[in-house]
Amino acid sequence: MAILLQNISKFYLEGGKKQTILSGLNAHFPKGKFSVVLGKSGSGKSTLLNIIGGIDLPDSGEVLVENRNLSNLSDYERTLFRRRRLGFVFQFFNLIPTLTVLENTILISELDGVNRRQSKKNAISILEHVGLEDRLDSMPEYLSGGEQQRVAIARALVNNPQIILADEPTGNLDHNTGLIVLEMMVRLIQEKKKTLVMATHSKEALAIADHIFQIENGLLVPTSLEGIQKSVS
């Protein structure tokens, strides 16, 4: 078991009215597999990833990640769990503009108290894997969008997390660059036998995913590439 969600509900207050985002959602994202989550804008994809990652908590239900019930952890314990067991890749790269490529990559390791020499060694190895070994001292402003996202992927992997959560990781890139980044990220994660859960609309991601889910009316429904093609034909 990598990720198990049981009867998850989440709502927000908007203009004094209760807006239900997730309603009694159940799901299992298997260990070592690539799962894609589809859904319309505002359907709850980002909320779901935030709940899995312990960034947000459900209003009801249980979130079991690597056999840990996140609802039973304190804020501090969830922060440590995220830092050590999870990696995040977002649509916006969220690089710190005053830090170099290498410094951005090792930041999480240093926050976690990892020895600087070991952090640097781990970061350089990952940056080599994503083809940025010659950009270690570059500042983010001098990188292309694809290069910045590769730094973000390296940062997500530097602590060797078991689970990667990716929220529209190619959504801010042109098609060709997005395809290159997607293929590189999936290859790296599969080689390292990680669990990847990705919210995306990328047709290329759907074609190589192990499992596909669709958020509908606050629930997560298993589907397939064939099922999606039929629904839009």
**Cα separation, 81 vs 100, whole angstroms:** 26
pTM: 0.88
Calpha distance 49→123 (Å, rounded): 25
pLDDT-derived band at 124, boundaries 50, 70, 90: very high
Coarse DSSP helix, strand, coil percentages of the chain, rounded to the nearest 5 percent: 40, 25, 35
Q: In the predicted model, what is the mean pLDDT of residues 126-137?
A: 90
Decide which of 185 and 135 is more confident. Answer: 135
Task: Say if residue 193's pLDDT is above 70.
Answer: yes
Q: Is the pLDDT of residue 112 over 80?
A: no
Tell me the domain boundaries of the chain: 30-59+72-232
Q: Distance between CA atoms of 214 and 161, rounded to whole angstroms? A: 25
Round to whole Å and give the CA distance between 221 and 137. Answer: 45
Average pLDDT over residues 140-146: 92
- Maximal C-alpha separation, the chain: 55
Mean pLDDT in the chain?
Answer: 88
Mean pLDDT of 151-165: 89
pLDDT classification of 9: cutoffs 50, 70, 90: very high
Residue 114: pLDDT band with limits 50, 70, 90: confident
Is the Cβ–Cβ distance between 140 and 97 less than 8 Å?
A: yes
Q: Which one-letter DSSP state was computed for residue 177?
A: H
**Residues with Cβ < 8 Å from 161, sequence gap 6 or more?**
84, 85, 86, 87, 194
* 230 pLDDT higher than 70: no
| 28: confidence class by pLDDT, cuts 50, 70, 90 | very high
Q: How far apart are the C-alpha atoms of 35 and 87, rounded to whole Å?
A: 15
Q: Does domain 30-59+72-232 have CATH number 3.30.1490.20?
A: no
Q: Are strands 34-38 and 60-65 parallel, antiparallel or unpaired?
A: unpaired
Q: What is the pLDDT of residues 45-100, one digit of tens each?
A: 999 999 999 999 999 999 999 989 998 999 999 988 988 889 998 878 889 999 99
Over residues 185-190, mean pLDDT: 82
Burial grade of 32 (CB within 10 A; 0-12, 13-18, 19 or more): middle
